[in-house]
């Protein structure tokens, strides 16, 4: 199927604007690749340190003839999504030995749980942790003893940080190995209803805790379609996972077989063999366009609108907000997974999942098939799904039709003809809204504003009964320069109660919402942020704001509102406690949210 002209135009536009940066990047990668296996250039003392604890693998490492795989792991057993990784290094090493190679844990990276830090001071470190992860993974690979890299990570900032490093070390083949989602527990919509009842004061904390524990109940990724599971989708659409591996549950025979198969595959595509596939070749403009299509088709997390530009910058590619908007305009919304619907990711996977979706989007000409992937050339490989045969993962044809059209629909009969995210712009700046979970009747809200400087103030106003009419809730000074751009997911139950009371409510903020942001119309990532004197800093209670997701507009309507001097609140409390003292450099140097809010790439590309 010929590629859709809009998709091709966006790809060409990205390629043209990125050319100087991409060419310089590829030249650096080429030079790094030409040096051959890095171990050959280490001194005997260097090598002895690297292999001292490797036991029976020492000889193979010292001869340089066998490929050596560096494992970068985000394992900890406080994150349910990452707890399964404790078994992966042994599985990977066994698979490497079976193919004549070796593997070493090169290093670990931090991995915080946004579910634990929601509404807490630690959430102000969350976005910055992405860049810390990228740097920590870079330290792990800086030992220069590896022919390929295996990245073990799942959740919100972890995968984007690891992709930044995979691109930075672009001469190395890189594969991502998922851990899979936890089995289904208390349905997400029932959990959300319990949260709303608690917010309204109808139930006590004991009932709330029982519901939360029944929902988050075991190893694996949380089952709603938030940032973590959006990451997993992205790794398949961009060709960094093995096909069909994203949503296989942890600690199962198929999950283990896929981990072994990924280990064997990445060792087969090093520069020592005949199928050399460096990460730089996988992470090209077409791969990022495919990722954006997947984001829109699945109604994925708004957080990826921040992460994808930062990931792309590491590969010399410049993504801009208009790229997301153009791709959304022609990409159908094919999935309804909570919070966009009642199903969870296990139901989505059972209904045909990513394999059906990729096949449909390829047929519609909305994805580039002519890409390189860790599985081999061509994204069409990702229409195949894995099965277990004699303990080994084998691939066959994936589903040709949906198993449940209430969860997953063909591209020709989607839930809506355009993507799940809507770009916003106007006199209040630029932003993004996740419209896939919002009632179409709420896509346009025009109402007086109430201005707040943190989410606790909103909750206090709610408890005091101050919300009695239609309202646009503005929570400002939540951008990366102000306090690290924390997620404001804790507002979802409160604002949902107001919607259920019949009020027309919208949220406007320079902060973020969780990937699980639901039915509240929320204009997020507003740039320029208030701390830099952006328009949100000039709003006052009573100003009338129009949030229009249909037209893609965000405007204050009363004359003179933006002529005022900006508010300048005291933000000193955000600079200390819970480790925030250590991140002042990030708050001072982080770049624009439209370019990924990264301290690694703070400057506008020339």
Among 3, 63, 56, 14, which residue's Cα sits nearest to residue 37?
Answer: 63
Q: Give the pLDDT confidence score for residue 10 in this predicted structure.
A: 98
> What's the pTM value of the predicted model, to 2 decimals?
0.94
Q: Which residues contact 344 (CB under 8 A, 6 or more apart)?
A: 181, 184, 187, 188, 223, 224, 225, 337, 338
- What are the DSSP calls for 101-153, one per residue? -EEEEEEE-----HHHHTTSGGGGGHHHHHHHHHHHHHHHHTT---SEEEEE-
Find out whether 75 and 82 touch, Cβ atoms under 8 Å. yes
Sign (positive or negative) of CA dihedral 338, 344, 347, 349: positive
Span(s) in the chain for CATH 3.50.30.80: 421-573
Cα 559 from Cα 146, distance rounded (Å): 61
Phi, psi of 149 (to 5 degrees): -130, 140
Cα separation, 391 vs 255, whole angstroms: 11
Report pLDDT for 604. 73
Structure tokens at 281: 């070749």
Q: Which residues pair with 572 in a beta bridge?
A: none
Distances in Å between the alpha carbon of 32 and those of 102, 240, 292, 372, 485? 21, 21, 29, 20, 36
Q: What pLDDT is stored for residue 50 in this prediction?
A: 83
**β-strand 68-73 against 102-108: which pairing, if any?**
parallel
Both tokens of residue 498? Answer: 């107001």
Determine the Cα–Cα distance for residues 305 and 297; give it in Å rounded to an integer: 14
The pLDDT assigned to 516 comes to 58
SS3 556: strand
pLDDT means per 10 residues, the chain with 606 residues, are 96 98 96 75 82 84 85 95 96 96 96 88 92 97 94 96 98 97 85 85 88 85 92 98 97 97 98 95 98 96 94 97 94 93 92 98 98 98 97 96 96 94 94 89 97 95 96 97 91 92 96 77 95 96 97 96 93 88 90 90 75
Question: Is 113 labelled a binding residue?
Answer: no
pLDDT at site 508: 97
Which residue is it, tokens 């490497």?
A: 96
Identify the CATH number of the domain defined by range 421-573.
Answer: 3.50.30.80
Which 3-state string (H, E, C) describes 217-277? CCCCECCCCCHHHHHHHHHHHCCCCCCCCCCCCCCCHHHHHHHHHHHHHHHHCCCCCCCCC
pLDDT value, residue 169: 96
């Amino acid at each position: 199927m010929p590629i859709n002209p809009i998709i091709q135009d966006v790809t060409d536009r990205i390629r043209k604007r990125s050319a100087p940066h991409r060419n310089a990047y590829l030249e650096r990668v080429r030079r790094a690749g030409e040096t051959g296996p890095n171990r050959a250039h280490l001194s005997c003392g260097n090598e002895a340190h690297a292999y001292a604890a490797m036991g029976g693998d020492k000889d193979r490492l010292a001869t340089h003839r066998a490929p050596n795989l560096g494992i970068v792991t985000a394992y900890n057993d406080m994150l349910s999504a990452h707890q399964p990784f404790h078994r992966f290094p042994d599985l990977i090493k066994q698979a490497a030995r079976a193919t004549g190679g070796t593997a070493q844990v090169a290093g670990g990276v931090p991995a915080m749980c946004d579910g634990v830090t929601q509404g807490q001071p630690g959430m102000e470190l969350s976005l910055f942790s992405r860049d810390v992860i990228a740097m920590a993974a870079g330290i792990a690979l800086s030992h220069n003893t590896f022919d390929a890299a295996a990245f073990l990570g799942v959740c919100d900032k972890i995968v984007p940080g690891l992709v930044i490093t995979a691109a930075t070390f672009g001469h190395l083949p890189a594969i991502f190995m998922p851990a899979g989602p936890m089995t289904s527990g208390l349905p997400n919509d029932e959990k959300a209803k319990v949260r709303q009842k608690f917010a309204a004061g109808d139930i006590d904390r004991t009932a709330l805790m029982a519901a939360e524990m029944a929902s988050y109940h075991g190893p694996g990724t949380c089952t709603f379609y938030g940032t973590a599971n959006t990451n997993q989708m992205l790794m398949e659409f961009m060709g960094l996972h093995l096909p069909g591996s994203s949503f296989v549950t942890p600690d199962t025979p198929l999950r283990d077989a896929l981990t072994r198969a990924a280990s064997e595959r990445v060792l087969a595509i090093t520069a020592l063999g005949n199928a050399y596939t460096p990460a730089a070749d996988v992470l090209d403009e077409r791969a990022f366009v495919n990722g954006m299509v997947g984001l829109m088709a699945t109604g994925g997390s708004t957080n990826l609108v921040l992460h994808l530009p930062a990931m792309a910058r590491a590969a010399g590619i410049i993504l801009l907000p208009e790229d997301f908007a153009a791709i959304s305009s022609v990409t159908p919304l094919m999935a309804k997974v909570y919070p966009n619907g009642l199903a969870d990711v296990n139901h989505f996977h059972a209904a045909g999942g990513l394999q059906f979706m990729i096949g449909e989007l390829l047929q519609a000409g909305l994805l580039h098939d002519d890409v390189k992937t860790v599985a081999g050339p061509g994204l069409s490989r990702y229409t195949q799904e894995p099965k277990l045969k004699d303990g080994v993962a084998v691939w066959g044809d994936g589903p040709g039709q949906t198993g449940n059209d209430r969860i997953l629909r063909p591209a020709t009969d989607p839930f809506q003809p355009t993507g799940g995210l809507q770009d916003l712009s106007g006199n209040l700046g630029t932003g993004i809204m996740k419209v896939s979970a919002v009632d179409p009747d709420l896509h346009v809200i025009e109402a007086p504003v109430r201005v707040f400087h943190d989410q606790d103030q909103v909750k206090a106003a709610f408890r005091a009964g101050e919300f009695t009419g239609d309202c646009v809730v503005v929570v400002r000074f939540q951008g990366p320069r102000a306090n690290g751009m924390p997620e404001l997911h804790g507002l979802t139950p409160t604002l949902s109660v107001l919607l259920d009371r019949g009020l027309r409510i919208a949220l406007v903020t320079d902060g973020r919402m969780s990937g699980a942001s639901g039915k509240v119309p929320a204009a997020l990532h507003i740039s320029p942020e208030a701390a830099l004197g952006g328009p949100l800093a000039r709003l006052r209670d009573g100003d009338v704001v129009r949030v229009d997701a249909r037209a893609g507009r965000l405007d204050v309507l009363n004359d003179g509102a933006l002529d005022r001097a900006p508010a300048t609140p005291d933000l000193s409390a955000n600079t200390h406690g819970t480790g925030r003292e250590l991140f002042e450099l990030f708050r001072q140097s982080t770049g624009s949210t439209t370019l990924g809010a990264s301290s690694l790439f703070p400057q506008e590309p020339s």
